[in-house]
Structure 1
């Protein structure tokens, strides 16, 4: 009997209750996971991609548009050092397609400069701008630099899809073609090169977005202009917690 009692005491010392309750694997949280991903990717800031379309005054020279945006990008880089801007500016006869990749602060500053120019310059050549899509926290860039290309020769299109398709279908085609064009430039344009130049309509005519699609998106009221977007961006967020909701609702006599 004494041997049995000794065995029970030994069993209690070997399996204490505290060891069963303690977790065997250290637990993390979603914030730590995101921080680790950013550290592994060696990012200094979250990367975002913004798609812009706008109308331009007819017969506006490419140099005027390119010089304006180059000046904006240079002044923005002075305020946000290390946050490089990459993307693509496609200049059509009466419209533009602009893709930008950078931090949220840099993109905010570019839109703010557009509004300042629009308010101070009555003859500003860019108007009717719409923000089509803003992709947040993208994993990698589609562009290694910022390039400008002008569509000089007219591109012939068989049909106008804006007359037969819904906005959702037109937008899907717009994003699909834009992505294909970005992949093509990523594979063909070398780093530190000047870009595809002004013969993109000859190099990849099947990848170009028809200008009527850009004009169609500029007219669509479903997309925000820079002013509405920045107002929403600066608007404080009011969140009602569950603890603040009283049920049933108080009644007044």
Structure 2
């Protein structure tokens, strides 16, 4: 009995040869560490939007609408802060958004709700040009608004002689160049580029004809269609699940 009691006090020792020599990790841990170093709690996505503006709407109302919407979302939903650029032309707009997936979802959802409830909402005919997921870095340090007040005359409309792929490529190229220009010139904490982009960067300012062309293109999704596809469950039937002849009941 004494021998058994003495032996029961001994702790089980793991063979040192079985212990891992190198600490192991996985891809999820690497992504979490990368986000932690970049001060990100969520993955950040970027979305390019274009649309039309009602003729009787003050341009300032559009910027105020988005500012209140961003603040309301951050109060009731945990996510990343919104950065980007809103260019408001005479009858159209270009909106670049950088934020988490849940925040983007709620921004589009709010627009769709207004579009259904109000016959003449301040913005309409919105199209999603492209959505980039899990972007490594942001192009904008904050959210900027610029009113393109000065009319710009274009000698020819290049969209009439170009294909949709060419117009989209030029659109993305010019917007990225404009974003890099603002990233280098606009200091953090300032109001942004202001309303004189036609003087500061005239070569990087998109013609309004390009935005109008993209708004009319049927190849791009509107927010309602995008949200329906986003919420639609995915059912994949494997070949191993299909049998022949099909089972039948008598």
TM-score normalised to the size of structure 2?
0.85
Determine if the alignment matches structure 1 residue 140 to structure 2 residue 137: yes
Contact 1:54 1:127 in 2 (8 A): yes
Equivalent residue number for residue 9 of structure 1: none
Superposed CA offset, 1:10-56 (max 9, x none) = xxxxxxxxx9xx99867654444433433443320000001000001
Measured after TM superposition, the shift of residue 158 of structure 1 is: 3.3
Structure 2 SS opposite 1:44: coil
CA distance in 1, matches of 2:52, 2:229: 23
Q: Distance in 2 between matches of 1:82 and 1:23?
A: 37
Give the Cα–Cα distance (whole angstroms) in 2 for the partners of residues 127 and 82 of structure 1.
Answer: 26
Deviation at 1:229, TM superposition (A): 0.4
- Cα 1:156–1:182 shift into 2, 3 Å: same
SS at match of 1:117: helix
CA displacement at 1:90 relative to structure 2: 0.2
For residue 45 of structure 1, what is the aligned residue in structure 2? 42
Bigger mean CA deviation after superposition, 219-228 or 72-81: 72-81
| Residues 115 and 227 in structure 1, CA contact (< 8 A), matched pair in contact too | yes
Tell whether the 8 Å contact from 2:52 to 2:124 is kept in structure 1 after alignment.
yes
Moved more, 125-134 or 232-241: 232-241
In 2, the alpha carbon distance for the partners of 1:219 and 1:66 equals 23
Question: In the alignment, what sits opposite 2:83?
Answer: 86
**Deviation of the 1:77 alpha carbon:** 1.3
- Partners of 2:70 and 2:156 in 1: how far apart? 37
Q: What SS does the corresponding residue of 1:141 show, helix, strand or coil?
A: coil
Q: 1:48-59, aligned counterparts within 5 Å?
A: 48-59=45-56
Structure 2 unaligned blocks of 5 or more: 1-16
Query: Partners in 1 of 2:40 and 2:239 — Cα distance?
Result: 36
* 1: CA distance, partners of 2:232 / 2:79: 27
Q: Give the number of aligned pairs.
A: 232
CA deviation vs aligned residue, 1:147-176 (integer Å, no higher than 9, x gap): 110111111223212111110000000000
**1:155–1:205 contact (8 Å) kept in structure 2:** no
User: Could you list the runs of 5+ residues in structure 1 that have no partner in the other structure?
Assistant: 1-18
Over the aligned positions, Cα root-mean-square deviation in angstroms equals 2.3
Instruction: Give CA deviations for 1:195-242 in whole Å, capped at 9, x if unaligned.
Output: 111111111111011101101100011000010000001011112345
Instruction: Provide closer, same or farther for how the CA distance between residues 251 and 231 of structure 1 changes in structure 2, counting only shifts above 3 A.
Output: closer
Q: Deviations over 1:96-151 (max 9, x none)?
A: 00000000100010011101111222221211100001100001111011111011
* Corresponding position of 1:124: 121
Correspondence for 1:99: 96
Contact (CA 8 Å) 1:59, 1:93: kept in 2 or not?
Answer: no
- Of 184, 187, 191 in structure 1, the residue corresponding to residue 188 of structure 2 is 191
- After TM superposition, the structure 1 stretch with the greater mean CA deviation from structure 2, 69-78 or 154-163, is 154-163
The verdict on how the C-alpha distance between 1:42 and 1:63 changes in structure 2, with shifts beyond 3 A counting, is closer
Q: Which moved more, 1:148-157 or 1:227-236?
A: 148-157
Q: Which has the larger radius of gyration?
A: 1
